Structure 1
Amino acid sequence: MLVLAVLSLLGILLVIGLPVAFAMAVSGAIGLYFYGGMPILSGILNTTPLTTANSYEMITIPMFILMAEFVILSGIASDLFRAATIWVGRIRGGVAMATAIAGAGFGAISGSSTAAAATLAATSLPEMIKQGYEPKLAGGVVAISGTLAMLIPPSVALILYGILADVSISKLLIGGVIPGLIVTMAIILTVWVLVILWPGSAPKGHTYSFTEKFASLKRVGPMLVLFLAITGTIYSGIATPTEASGIGAFIAMLLAVKERKLTPATLWIALRNSAQTSCMILFIILGAHIFGYFVTITRVTNDLSEWVAALPLAPLAIMGLILVGYIILGFFMDQIAILILTVPVVLPIILKLGFDPVWFGVIVVVTAEVGMVTPPLGMNVFVVARYTRRPLGELFRGVMPHVWAHLVVIALLTLFPGLILWLPSTMQ
Structure 2
Amino acid sequence: MTDFAIGLSGIGAMFILMILRTPVGMAMLAVGFVGTWVLSGGRAANALFLTETFSAVSNYSLTVIPLFILMGNIASVAGFSKGLYDAAFAWVGRMPGGLASASILGCASFSAVSGSSVATAVTIGKVALPEMKRFGYSSSLATGAVAAGGTLGFLIPPSTGFVIYAILTEQSIGQLFMAGILPGLLLTGLFIFTVLIVTLRDPAAGPRGPRMPFGERVAATLRALPLILVIIVSIGGIYLGVFTPVEAAGIGAGLVVMMALFTGKLTLRSATLALSDTVRTTAMLYLIIIGASVLNPFLALTDLPGTLGEAMTSLGLGPYGVLLLIVLAYLVLGTFMDGLAMLVVTIPIFFPIVVGMGFDPIWFGVIAVVMIEMGMITPPVGMNVFVVKGIAQDVPMSTIFRGVLPFWLAMGLGLLLMVLFPQTALLIPQAMFG
| Interval containing the TM-score (normalised by the shorter chain) | over 0.9
Question: For 1:209, which of 193, 213, 231 is the aligned residue?
Answer: 213
Distance in structure 2 (CA, Å) of the matches to 1:157 and 1:126: 29
- Identify unmatched segments of 5+ residues in structure 2: none
Structure 1 vs Structure 2 CA RMSD = 1.2
> By how many angstroms is 1:178 displaced?
0.4
Counterpart check, 1:414 vs 2:430: no
Q: Comparing 262-271 with 155-164, which one deviates more in the overlay?
A: 262-271
Q: Comparing 319-328 with 357-366, which one deviates more in the overlay?
A: 319-328
Q: Which residue of 1 aligns with 2:97?
A: 93
Question: For 1:173, which of 148, 155, 177 is the aligned residue?
Answer: 177
Counterpart check, 1:269 vs 2:280: no
The runs of 4+ residues in structure 1 deviating greater than 3 Å are none
Q: Which residue of 2 aligns with 1:344?
A: 348
Question: For 2:380, which of 373, 376, 379 is the aligned residue?
Answer: 376
Counterpart check, 1:282 vs 2:293: no
Is the partner of 2:41 in helix, strand or coil?
helix
> By how many angstroms is 1:230 displaced?
1.4
Q: Which residue of 2 aligns with 1:298?
A: 302
Distance in structure 1 (CA, Å) of the matches to 2:248 and 2:303: 37
Distance in structure 2 (CA, Å) of the matches to 1:76 and 1:264: 17
Maintained 8 Å contact 2:78/2:270: no
Counterpart check, 1:62 vs 2:66: yes
Aligned length in residues: 428
Distance in structure 2 (CA, Å) of the matches to 1:413 and 1:353: 17
1:375-394 matches, cutoff 5 A:
375-389=379-393, 390-394=395-399
Maintained 8 Å contact 2:103/2:145: yes
- Letter of the structure 1 residue corresponding to residue 302 of structure 2: T
Is the partner of 1:109 in helix, strand or coil?
helix
> By how many angstroms is 1:33 displaced?
1.2
- Letter of the structure 1 residue corresponding to residue 6 of structure 2: L
> By how many angstroms is 1:204 displaced?
3.0
> By how many angstroms is 1:69 displaced?
0.8
Q: Which residue of 1 aligns with 2:260?
A: 256
Distance in structure 1 (CA, Å) of the matches to 2:210 and 2:273: 38
> By how many angstroms is 1:40 displaced?
1.1
Distance in structure 2 (CA, Å) of the matches to 1:258 and 1:92: 37
> By how many angstroms is 1:272 displaced?
1.4
After superposition, what is the alpha-carbon deviation per residue over 1:151-204, rounded to whole angstroms, capped at 9, x for unaligned? 111111111111111111101001100000000001100000001111121223
Distance in structure 2 (CA, Å) of the matches to 1:344 and 1:250: 34
Identity percentage of aligned residues: 38
Distance in structure 2 (CA, Å) of the matches to 1:327 and 1:210: 44
Q: Which residue of 2 aligns with 1:27?
A: 31
Q: Which residue of 2 aligns with 1:397?
A: 402
Maintained 8 Å contact 2:141/2:403: yes
Maintained 8 Å contact 1:226/1:251: yes
Question: For 1:425, which of 411, 426, 430 is the aligned residue?
Answer: 430
Is the partner of 2:367 in helix, strand or coil?
helix
Q: Which residue of 1 aligns with 2:233?
A: 229
Distance in structure 2 (CA, Å) of the matches to 1:126 and 1:412: 34
- Letter of the structure 2 residue corresponding to residue 324 of structure 1: L
Distance in structure 1 (CA, Å) of the matches to 2:382 and 2:229: 32
Q: Which residue of 2 aligns with 1:136?
A: 140
> By how many angstroms is 1:105 displaced?
0.6
Is the partner of 1:426 in helix, strand or coil?
helix
Distance in structure 2 (CA, Å) of the matches to 1:109 and 1:16: 34
Q: Which residue of 2 aligns with 1:318?
A: 322
Question: For 2:335, which of 331, 335, 344 is the aligned residue?
Answer: 331
Distance in structure 2 (CA, Å) of the matches to 1:90 and 1:136: 20
Distance in structure 2 (CA, Å) of the matches to 1:42 and 1:77: 46
Distance in structure 2 (CA, Å) of the matches to 1:89 and 1:23: 46
> By how many angstroms is 1:223 displaced?
2.2
- Identify unmatched segments of 5+ residues in structure 1: none
1:19-168 matches, cutoff 5 A:
19-168=23-172
Maintained 8 Å contact 1:105/1:223: no
After superposition, what is the alpha-carbon deviation per residue over 1:231-283, rounded to whole angstroms, capped at 9, x for unaligned? 10110011111111111110111121133122233222221111111111111
- Letter of the structure 1 residue corresponding to residue 426 of structure 2: L
Distance in structure 2 (CA, Å) of the matches to 1:303 and 1:204: 56
Distance in structure 2 (CA, Å) of the matches to 1:371 and 1:76: 28
- Letter of the structure 1 residue corresponding to residue 384 of structure 2: N
